[in-house]
Amino acid sequence: MLALDIADRAAAERWCREHDWPLGEAPATAARLIGRPSQALWLPAVGQLRNPRLAQALRQAVQTLGCDILTHRAASNLVYEEGRIAGVATAEGRLQADVYVVAAGAWTRSLLADNAAGLDIPPVRGQILLFKAPPGLLPCIVYRNGLYLVPRAAGHILAGSTLEFVGFDKNTTEA
């Protein structure tokens, strides 16, 4: 990934070193995108993955481990016994497991109720566009001031993203 217009390059480089995040020299194909080299970083370890493919791989890995995946079962609340989660209540009945992972995003607080300990994860709408482009037009992921361009192998370019604090509104906007 090529990160452009880095306001404090020294601080960004320090963060990368402290977190063992490799920095490198941008290849010639990406270097042509750099306007001010002193304000750009080449992050060779940053990659991309496709969400549907990740979900498919996770599903396969979970099933290979002998676990069941239950879909379309909304959790209404967690059941506690002796201060520990003992089950998940759903409209279809109580589910039990040895280990529980709460990954409910903006619904986490309502699911954890009094056990949320001040945790508040607001819903955030993000909007992206997908452009048709010839393969190779954009040689790498480009990030600048919270916005990004992600090239796809077939030539498409994913452009994003907005961060909009509009509650649970999933509608797209013309703007």
Q: pLDDT per position in the chain (175 positions), as tens? A: 999 988 898 999 999 999 999 998 888 888 778 877 778 899 999 988 888 999 999 999 999 999 888 888 888 889 989 988 899 999 999 999 888 888 888 988 888 877 777 788 899 999 999 999 999 899 999 999 889 999 998 999 999 988 899 999 999 998 8
Query: For residues 44 and 24, what is the distance between their CA atoms, to the nearest angstrom?
Result: 6
Task: Please give the Cα distance from 167 to 125 (Å, whole number).
Answer: 8
Distance CA 30, CA 107 (A): 40
**8 A C-beta contact, residue 72 and residue 41:** no
Q: What is the DSSP letter of 164?
A: B
